[in-house]
Chain A
Amino acid sequence: MAQNFVQGSIVKLQRIAITGMKRNKPLALSSMKFCNYSSSAQQGSEEAKVAGTVKSVFISQSNDIFTNLALEDWLYRNFDFTNHHILLLWQNSPAVVIGRHQNPWLEANTAVLSEHGIEIARRNSGGGTVYHDRGNLNLTFFTPREHYSRKNNLQLICRALLREWGLKTEISPREDIVSGNYKISGTAAKLGRPNAYHHCTLLVDVDKVKLGHALHKHNKGIKTNATQSIPSPVMNLCDLNSHVKMEKLLASIGWEYLRTDPYSAEDKGEDFIGKQRGFQFINPTDQWFPGLEKLRAEFASWGWRFGKSPKFNVTRTFRVPRELLSKDELTDQELSITIDVNKGVVEDVLLTVPPRLAAAKGFSGQAQVVTSLRGQQFSEEAITMLQKALSELESPEQTRNEFVVHCMRQVVTSI
């Protein structure tokens, strides 16, 4: 499936190049060859050093979020961008991607996502949570740290949209690309030395219903100093102009990138393109990118995606059913549960049990709850273990234990 896209796109890009869209002169495309990108192999040609900085557009052939994040990270760590800037274009199968310092439980309904086969991933850059599917285009602009400029990159995208479809878009103060009050692109960045990247999304034809469900936030009782997303209403490019299609967008933005001066960010015209390296399809495998598999495994690991969350606690309260209360108690009673989580693991549990629930015999399971859960990953599985531990207790008050377990499960699964 990816192969067909690639083959189709190569043919389309060649055709676009030859017909030159609105241009009169046919343009030569760089040869579509795969290269081994290990750092020793890329010395940069003599002509590049003489001419100055050249640019390439890389198009990833993978639709796997973890592979693409790994590819992005690999380029950031290994490539020398001094004389060679790169724009990486990539698309993913449905996934929710959280920022580096965010909490996945706070930003998305993790249980629902896994039911629908939507991956959850954490990226290396800052910023908020986004939803990806094949209708979303990701762009990563790689440069040395000194030449990092989000504004230039976003203006380039706006120019491409204007040039190709006459679409008028603006850059908001928060550096999102907007059309009126609707966001069509979100931005984030990673700054290191010597390399840096700015990446952004571009909503072309994303399933907005699924996006809304995946990113749905409700009051979850979570307290944390993790960075939090600022929700915005979104719009697809195809809503603004029905002629906008993903493949044409890839080409259009790619050409705009190649004709833009890497330093002054001016449009240098079509002739400038001939001096660049052109488009290249990238096959992200360990063979071409040694060490890629290891990076992918890290991005896909529970420890990175969930364990990396800044510490938080979650508090929920539950009304105790009347049947569990003593007969003479008239007022409503509540059970309160607070779970402290650090590195994705339960550090402590605090149960505030109303006196009537405790009753004369006491709530025998209290200590058991705490000891069963401490050190466990904050997950459904931990609650199942707790349930088993409580059911093995000699207790005539099983319904009370069951109620507590039910509440614990609610805390973990419904956030």
Chain B
Amino acid sequence: MTPSSFYHENGGRKFFQNVERMYTNKHEWILIDGKTGTVGISHYAQDALGDVVYAQLPDVGTEVLKKDECGALESVKAASELYCPLSGRVIEKNAAVEETPALINQSCYEKGWLFKIELTNPDELKELMTESEYENFLKTDAH
């Protein structure tokens, strides 16, 4: 599985430049820019959730590991866990989404982004799915 990304070595520091979002089997996406990753949930996930009434996002400064529970989205009396796609440190959370959780339903790939992390282990990116792999995953029963 090769992510469609460019892998640079630059003075001993490795970083990825992603041209597309990468996905987890928990329906989150991450978009990499240098060492920063922006995290959100997929269209499938926001649709399955229904109207989001509250977004509990991780605080800035929190250290997170890949697959950790790091927040929750509440909709119709259900609290759905948010998982961290990659390991890192939270550097920003989307205050607009905290104020207006409906942004997640309206614009899950743009305005409805959830939080940003500084990656601590960029190699983990290899374990994620590309957009086309994620679309195939959605067609299987496994999701």
With CB as the reference atom, state the residue of chain B lying closest to A102.
Answer: B54
A374 touches B (CB below 8 Å):
no
A175–B75 alpha-carbon span in the complex (Å): 13
Report the bound CA distance from A131 to B83 in whole Å.
31
Partner of A227, one of B26, B54, B80: B54
Find out whether the CB atom of A227 lies under 8 angstroms from the CB atom of B78. no
B59: nearest residue on chain A (CB-CB)? A343
Decide yes or no whether A193 CB sits under 8 A from chain B: yes
Q: Is A188 close to B, CB under 8 A?
A: yes
A101 contacts partner chain B, Cβ-Cβ < 8 Å? yes
The contact string, 1 if C-beta is below 8 Å from chain B, for chain A 184-220, is 0001111111000000000000000000000000000
Q: Which of A100, A175, A193 is close to B79, meaning CB atoms less than 8 Å apart?
A: A100
Most buried by B among A101, A125, A126: A126
Report A45-63 CB contacts with B as 1/0, cut-off 8 Å: 0000000000000000000
Q: Which of A222-277 contact B (CB under 8 A)?
A: 225-227
Q: Is the CB of A192 within 8 A of B69?
A: yes
Whose C-beta in chain B lies nearest to the C-beta of A124? B79
Chain B residues with CB below 8 A from A175, complex form: 77
- The answer for the CA separation of A99 and B56 in the assembled complex, in Å, is 13
Contact with A along B84-123 (1 / 0, CB 8 A): 0000000000000011000000000000000000000000
The reply to whether the CB of A278 lies closer than 8 angstroms to some CB of chain B is no
> Is the CB of A127 closer than 8 A to any CB of chain B?
yes
Q: Which residues of A contact B98 (CB under 8 A)?
A: 225
Known: A191-B80, A192-B69, A193-B26. A100 touches B56 (CB 8 A): yes
Q: Which residues of B in the span 26-85 have a Cβ within 8 Å of any Cβ on A? A: 26, 53-54, 56, 69, 72, 74-81, 83
| A225, B79: Cβ atoms closer than 8 Å | no
Interface residues of B: mostly helix, strand, loop or mixed?
strand
Chain A residues near B72 (CB, 8 Å)? Answer: 100-101
For the complex, count residues of B whose C-beta is within 8 A of A: 18
Q: Is the CB of B77 within 8 A of A193?
A: no
Asked if B54 and A193 sit within 8 Å, CB to CB, the answer is: no
Please state if A125 and B83 are interface contacts (CB–CB under 8 Å): no
Q: A191-B78, A193-B81, A225-B99 are in contact. Are A101 and B69 (CB under 8 A)?
A: no
For A100, list chain B residues within 8 Å (CB).
56, 72, 74, 79
Complex: A209 Cα to B79 Cα, angstroms: 30
Cα distance A226–B74 in the bound complex, in angstroms:
11
Q: How far is the CB of B143 from chain A (nearest CB, A)?
A: 8
CB contact under 8 A between A126 and B81, given known A100-B56, A101-B56, A193-B26? no
Across-interface contacts of A191 in B (CB, < 8 A): 78-81
Whether A101 lies near B77 (C-beta < 8 A) is no
A189-B77 contact given A100-B72, A225-B99, CB 8 Å threshold: yes
Are A193 and B78 closer than 8 Å at their CB atoms? no
Q: Which residues of B contact A226 (CB under 8 A)?
A: 54
Contact indicator A189/B81 (Cβ below 8 Å): no
* Contact between B83 and A126, CB atoms less than 8 A apart: no
- Contact flag A188-B56 (CB < 8 Å), given A100-B72, A193-B26, A225-B99: no
Residues of B within 8 A of A193 (CB): 25-26, 81, 83
Whether A189 pairs with B54 at a CB distance below 8 angstroms is no
Chain B hits for A190, CB < 8 A: 78-81
- Report yes or no: B26 in contact with A126, Cβ–Cβ below 8 A: no
B residues in contact with A227, CB < 8 Å: 53-54, 74
Note all chain A residues with C-beta closer than 8 A to B74.
99-101, 126, 227
User: 5 more A-B contacts (CB under 8 A) besides A101-B74, A189-B77, A227-B54?
Assistant: A101-B79, A126-B79, A188-B78, A191-B81, A226-B54
Q: Can you list 21 residue pairs at the A/B interface with Cβ under 8 Å?
A: A100-B56, A100-B79, A101-B72, A101-B79, A125-B78, A125-B79, A126-B74, A126-B76, A126-B77, A128-B77, A189-B77, A189-B78, A190-B81, A191-B80, A192-B69, A192-B81, A193-B83, A225-B98, A227-B54, A310-B54, A310-B56
Which chain B residues have a beta carbon within 8 Å of chain A's beta carbons?
25-26, 53-54, 56, 69, 72, 74-81, 83, 98-99
